């Protein structure tokens, strides 16, 4: 039985396909929201020749298992050894296999498809092509070329986030093939409704300096240099094991490592500390992977140390703690790794009727479960780089610029030096333990992040002096011709007029933030961190800059339906 939000996504896909010239649809829903279930329902209802494409053998296996669970006869386009491993998994998991070599429904590895017999009439008969982790699909890459093998197929490209680290656009008018997005609920909405588990995030300090690692053309860090700086750490391995034991000892965890060497070192350290661990990589045979997963579910293994796998398309509800030891500039990868621990952990009986409960009942079940909160231990500052993954994101099918922000409300985070929990930098003190960090400088608004209380009094006086000049009368130079003096007066009047509009909008913004419970200091800091200018300097801007700032503030107010109340 699909849950209400899953039904809404499925219906949205059908509505999109019904529109003129819409062929490829991308449903977007967070990790753990059940995209595989939605896709399975669509494939079953479609009841026509279908292909489901994935880019790694474990994901091909997972899709095949999902079809096998629903008793859908299907073929497997993969190397013979992989086929045998997947069929064995069918029997180990379900006690039967629905593998059928010439079935109308088939799962395929994207790297195996190009070797498929081009004379196979099934290719032109396929009417639905599912591309797992659809954000991979671009017109000219291997996923796009795989799609071209099915000229008569509609496309279904599910993903957790419709964004690529390399900033290329997923839309047909940009670099990809998608005609329409279908946006489901965000992560925080599902947490608040009890369909995902809430989390506790810890950010220990690190001795690794990532500032020297460049970001390559893929949009992620240069892997050779990332590996080098990670291996240069004198304490990362010990910190990972120590913090796991302190905050999550005995819980089922996945640790994401930068390479096999680092993973092996971490696994050895876990085992030496009495924490049963195994390394799992993209090259781990499916049979061995299945063995590890069974041991993990049975708690014979407490840690899986992952390299380039378990980040996408993996459904392991038992995961209770994630340790991040792999720095990434990819929001998609970061959010997917984070989301591995957010699936609820309740009994199969409760999960089967989960959709029948109210939100309050679901939250009560989770609170009483073995995983009331997931634990995320970020050893490499991923959350500082990206922000929290449950903040609502803005998506577009077009390319996005490097300086643009997918979410205009996003505020940079600070890790508390005392309790290690991150919080938004606009807060004066840590909301978890009350610790208030000392500021290093007071000479500029940038040094205190717009906190005017902390600004050096002489600097604050000088800025306010500029505001007074704008608000006061105009004194054009008398030595200049009349036309010059008139221009100066005209510019001064225009600046005052635009400043009046800006200040009115700033006042509305401040009233909104006050209503949300923020102090004046917190409002000042949030304003600076959101708009890049402090509230006093904003009142000294020229007409053009003031107008642009007013438009940005207005856009945020409109996004939250904040309007000025008119007197009755």
pLDDT digits (tens, 9 = 90+) for 137-186: 999 999 999 999 999 999 999 999 999 988 899 999 999 999 999 999 99
Give the span between the Cα atoms of 406 and 164, in whole angstroms: 12
The low-confidence residues of the chain, meaning pLDDT below 70, are 310-317, 401-409, 567-568
Tell which residue, 23, 49, 52, 56, has the closest CA to residue 38: 52
Mean pLDDT over each residue of the chain, to the nearest integer: 90
173-226 confidence digits (pLDDT tens): 999 999 999 999 999 999 999 999 999 999 999 999 999 999 988 889 999 999
Determine the pLDDT at residue 454: 80
Structure tokens at 96: 């039967």
Determine the pLDDT at residue 291: 87
Tell which residue, 37, 42, 46, 33, has the closest CA to residue 65: 37
Determine the pLDDT at residue 404: 44
Q: Set out the domains of the chain in order of their start, with CATH numbers.
A: 4-185 (3.40.50.300), 190-389 (3.40.50.300), 452-559 (no CATH)
Alpha helices in 440-568, H assignment, sequence order: 457-471, 482-515, 520-531, 543-559
163-175 confidence digits (pLDDT tens): 998 889 999 999 9
Residue 473 near residue 455, CB atoms below 8 Å = no
Give the span between the Cα atoms of 53 and 141, in whole angstroms: 14
pTM of the entire structure?
Answer: 0.85
């Amino acid at each position: 039985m699909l849950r209400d939000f899953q039904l809404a996504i499925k219906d949205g896909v059908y509505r999109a396909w019904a529109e003129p010239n819409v062929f490829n649809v991308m449903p977007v829903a967070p990790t753990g929201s059940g995209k595989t279930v939605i896709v399975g329902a669509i494939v079953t209802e479609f009841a026509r020749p279908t292909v489901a494409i994935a880019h790694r053998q474990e994901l091909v296996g997972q899709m095949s298992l999902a079809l096998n669970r629903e008793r859908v006869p299907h073929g497997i386009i993969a190397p013979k050894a992989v086929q045998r491993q997947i069929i064995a998994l069918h029997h180990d998991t379900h006690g039967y296999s629905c593998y059928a070599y010439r079935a109308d429904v088939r799962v395929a590895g994207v790297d195996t498809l190009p070797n498929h017999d081009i004379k196979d009439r099934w290719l032109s008969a396929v009417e639905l092509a599912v591309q797992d982790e659809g954000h991979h699909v671009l017109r000219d890459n291997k996923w796009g070329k795989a799609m071209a093998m099915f000229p008569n197929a509609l496309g279904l490209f599910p993903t957790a986030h419709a964004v690529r680290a390399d900033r290329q656009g997923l839309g047909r008018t940009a670099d990809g093939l998608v005609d329409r997005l279908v946006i489901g609920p965000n992560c925080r909405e599902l947490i608040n409704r009890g369909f995902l588990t809430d989390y506790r995030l810890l950010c220990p300090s690190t001795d690794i300096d990532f500032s020297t690692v460049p970001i390559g053309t893929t949009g992620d860090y240069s892997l050779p240099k990332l590996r080098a700086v990670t291996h240069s750490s004198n304490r990362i391995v010990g910190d990972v094991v120590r913090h796991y034991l302190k905050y999550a000892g005995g819980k089922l965890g996945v640790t994401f490592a930068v390479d096999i060497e680092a993973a092996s070192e971490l696994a050895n350290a876990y085992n030496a500390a009495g924490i049963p661990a195994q390394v799992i990589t993209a090259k781990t045979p499916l049979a061995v992977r299945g063995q590890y997963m069974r041991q993990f579910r049975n708690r014979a293994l407490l840690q899986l140390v992952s390299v380039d796998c378990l980040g996408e398309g993996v459904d392991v509800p038992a995961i209770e703690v994630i340790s991040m030891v792999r720095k990434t500039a990819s929001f998609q990868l970061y959010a997917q790794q984070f989301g591995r621990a957010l699936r609820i952990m309740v009994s199969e009986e409760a999960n089967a009727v989960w959709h029948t409960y109210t939100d309050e009942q679901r939250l009560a079940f989770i609170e009483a479960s073995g995983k009331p909160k997931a634990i995320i231990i970020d050893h490499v500052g991923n959350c500082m780089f990206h922000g929290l993954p449950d903040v609502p994101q803005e998506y577009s099918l077009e390319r996005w610029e490097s300086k643009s922000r997918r979410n205009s409300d996003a505020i940079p985070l600070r890790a508390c030096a005392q309790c290690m929990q991150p919080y938004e930098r606009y807060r004066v003190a840590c909301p978890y333990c009350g610790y208030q960090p000392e500021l290093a400088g007071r000479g500029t608004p940038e040094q205190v992040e717009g906190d005017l209380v902390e600004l050096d009094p002489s600097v604050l006086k000088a800025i306010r002096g500029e505001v007074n000049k704008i608000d006061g009368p105009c004194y054009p130079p008398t030595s200049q011709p009349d036309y010059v003096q008139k221009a100066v007066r005209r510019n001064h009047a225009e600046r005052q007029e635009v400043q009046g509009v800006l200040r009115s909008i700033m006042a509305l913004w401040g009233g909104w933030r006050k209503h949300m419970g923020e102090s004046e200091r917190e409002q000042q800091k949030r304003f600076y961190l959101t708009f890049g200018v402090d509230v006093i300097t904003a009142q000294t801007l020229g007409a053009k800059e003031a107008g642009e700032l007013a438009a940005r503030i207005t856009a945020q107010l409109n996004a939250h339906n904040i309007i000025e109340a008119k007197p009755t």
